[in-house]
Chain A
Amino acid sequence: MSADAAGRDDPFRASRWARVAWIALAVYVVYASSRMEISWERVVTGLENASRFFARMFPPNFERWELLLKGLLESLEIAVLSSAFGILLALPVGLAAARNLMPAWATWPARFVIVACRSFHPVIVAILFVKAVGFGALAGILALTVASIGFIGKLFTEAIEEISDKQVEAVRATGAPFASVLAFGVLPQVFSRFIGFSTYQLDSNLRNSTMVGIVGAGGIGGTLFAAFQRFDYDFVCAILIAIISLIMVGEVMATGVRKVFLEGATLADLFSRSGRAVRVRPLEGD
Chain B
Amino acid sequence: MLELKRLSKSYVPGKPVLVDIDLEIAARGITSVIGPSGTGKSTLIRCVNRLVEPTSGEILFDGVDLAGLSGQRLRHARRHIGMVFQEYNLVERLTVMENLLSGRLGYVSPWAAWRRAFPPDDLRAAFELLDVVGLAGYANRRADALSGGQRQRVGIARAVMQRPKLLLADEPTSSLDPKTSVEIMQLLADVARSREIPVLVNMHDVELARRFADRIVGMSEGRIVYDGPPATLTDGVLKSIYGGEAWLH
Is B91 in contact with A189, judged by CB distance below 8 angstroms? yes
Contact pattern, B 76-90, Cβ under 8 Å of A = 1, otherwise 0:
111111110101011
CB of B92 within 8 Å of the partner chain: yes
Contact pattern, B 113-129, Cβ under 8 Å of A = 1, otherwise 0:
11000000000000000
Cβ–Cβ < 8 Å partners of B108 in chain A: 180
Q: Among A178, A183, A192, which residue has the most Cβ atoms of chain B within 10 A?
A: A183
Report the number of A-B residue pairs with Cβ-Cβ less than 8 Å: 90
Q: Which residue of B lies closest to A179 (CB)?
A: B110
Once A170-B85, A176-B102, A180-B110 are accepted as A-B contacts, the answer to whether A185 and B77 lie under 8 Å apart by CB is no
Once A180-B105, A183-B113 are accepted as A-B contacts, the answer to whether A169 and B89 lie under 8 Å apart by CB is yes
Cβ–Cβ < 8 Å partners of B94 in chain A: 184, 188
Contact pattern, A 14-41, Cβ under 8 Å of B = 1, otherwise 0:
0000000000000000000000000000
CB of B49 within 8 Å of the partner chain: yes
Q: Which residues in chain A, 135-174, are within 8 Å of chain B measured between CB atoms?
A: 164, 166-167, 169-174
Number of B residues whose C-beta is below 8 Å from A? 34
Cβ–Cβ < 8 Å partners of B85 in chain A: 166, 169-170
Report the Cα distance A163→B114, complex, angstroms: 19
Once A169-B51, A179-B110 are accepted as A-B contacts, the answer to whether A188 and B91 lie under 8 Å apart by CB is yes
Is A189 in contact with B78, judged by CB distance below 8 angstroms? no
Once A175-B106, A183-B114 are accepted as A-B contacts, the answer to whether A170 and B76 lie under 8 Å apart by CB is no
Once A174-B106, A176-B105 are accepted as A-B contacts, the answer to whether A184 and B98 lie under 8 Å apart by CB is yes
Once A173-B51, A174-B162, A177-B75 are accepted as A-B contacts, the answer to whether A184 and B90 lie under 8 Å apart by CB is no
A48 to chain B, nearest CB (A): 59
Number of A residues whose C-beta is below 8 Å from B? 24
CB of A231 within 8 Å of the partner chain: no
Contact pattern, A 255-279, Cβ under 8 Å of B = 1, otherwise 0:
0000000000000000000000000
Is A189 in contact with B92, judged by CB distance below 8 angstroms? yes
Report the Cα distance A148→B113, complex, angstroms: 29
CB of A65 within 8 Å of the partner chain: no
Is B105 in contact with A167, judged by CB distance below 8 angstroms? no
CB of B172 within 8 Å of the partner chain: no
Once A166-B87, A173-B51 are accepted as A-B contacts, the answer to whether A189 and B106 lie under 8 Å apart by CB is no
Report the Cα distance A181→B111, complex, angstroms: 12
Report the Cα distance A184→B106, complex, angstroms: 12
Is B90 in contact with A167, judged by CB distance below 8 angstroms? yes
Contact pattern, A 178-198, Cβ under 8 Å of B = 1, otherwise 0:
111111110011011000000
Q: Which residue of B lies closest to A285 (CB)?
A: B93
Q: Per a CB cutoff under 8 Å, which of B87, B92, B106, B111 touches A176? A: B106
A177 to chain B, nearest CB (A): 6
Cβ–Cβ < 8 Å partners of B76 in chain A: 175
CB of B54 within 8 Å of the partner chain: no
Q: Among A174, A185, A188, which residue has the most Cβ atoms of chain B within 10 A?
A: A174
Report the Cα distance A192→B181, complex, angstroms: 33
CB of B103 within 8 Å of the partner chain: yes
Once A174-B106, A176-B105, A180-B110 are accepted as A-B contacts, the answer to whether A166 and B89 lie under 8 Å apart by CB is yes
Q: Per a CB cutoff under 8 Å, which of B49, B79, B102, B155 touches A171? A: B102
Is B113 in contact with A184, judged by CB distance below 8 angstroms? yes
Report the Cα distance A249→B77, complex, angstroms: 54
Q: Which residues in chain B, 31-82, are within 8 Å of chain A measured between CB atoms?
A: 49, 51, 72, 75-82
List 12 interface pairs A-B (beta carbons < 8 Å), by A numbering. A167-B91, A170-B102, A172-B78, A174-B162, A175-B105, A179-B113, A180-B105, A180-B110, A182-B110, A183-B113, A184-B98, A192-B93
- Besides the contacts A180-B114, A184-B105, what 13 more A-B pairs have beta carbons closer than 8 Å? A166-B85, A170-B155, A175-B77, A175-B78, A175-B79, A177-B110, A180-B110, A183-B114, A184-B91, A184-B102, A184-B113, A188-B91, A189-B93
